[in-house]
Structure 1
Amino acid sequence: MPNPRAASDTPGDAAHRAEGVPQNERVTLNLTGKAVQALQRLQDMTGYNKTDCINRALIIAAEVERMSREPGAVYWRETPASDLMLVRFV
């Protein structure tokens, strides 16, 4: 009986397909100079590789976009002792 998993699947990929989560996709990405610098800073801060940094950034960007389109508010506190600041996404 053939294995239903593709050779490149990781153990969690079959479960994600069953849950309706899209499969992995390989893309080519052209970054601006500022984006290259931001990616390098993010790698330095987190220790993650480029792929993980980009994946995390896209997930966060999608969530920020969703929040900016729905009622509600997002607040940021720079330090534990500082006042809350309303964050507006434009």
Structure 2
Amino acid sequence: MTNARADEDAPQVRAEAVPQGERVTINLTGKAVQALQRLQEMTGYNKTDCINRALIISAEIERMSREPGAVYWRETPDSDLMLVRFV
């Protein structure tokens, strides 16, 4: 008779490896500088946090728009949904 625990029989799930931080230098266009400044004012985040969040959100939106599905936007709670297309 064995005393195997239930969790030993469960399938093992591998955690995705999260890369460590990386220092990069970027050149922003004038519009990007303005957007970054507006984002900082709206959120109170520093430049690094704003850029990190923007990249994460951008990657997620890109993933959603490429898979079978779509991205929709509603400007106000009462407005109709609008399909968003990224080109």
Range into which the TM-score falls when normalised by the shorter chain: 0.7 to 0.9
Is 1:83–2:80 an aligned residue pair? yes
Structure 1's consecutive aligned runs of 4 or more residues displaced over 3 angstroms after TM superposition are none
Is contact 2:40-2:46 (8 Å) kept?
yes
Considering only aligned residues, what root-mean-square deviation do their CA atoms show, in Å?
1.4
Is 1:27–2:34 an aligned residue pair? no
Q: Count matched residues.
A: 73
Question: What CA distance in whole angstroms lies between the structure 2 residues aligned with 1:64 and 1:23?
Answer: 23
- When normalised by structure 1's length, the TM-score is 0.75
Query: Unpaired runs of 5+ in structure 1?
Result: 1-17
Query: Unpaired runs of 5+ in structure 2?
Result: 1-14
Identical amino acids, percent of aligned pairs: 90
Cross-structure match for 2:33: 36
Is 1:68–2:65 an aligned residue pair? yes
TM-superposed CA distance for 1:25, in Å, is 0.7
1:53-80 deviation line (CA, Å, top 9, x unaligned)? 0000000111111122111122111111
Larger-Rg structure: 2
Question: What CA distance in whole angstroms lies between the structure 2 residues aligned with 1:31 and 1:76?
Answer: 26
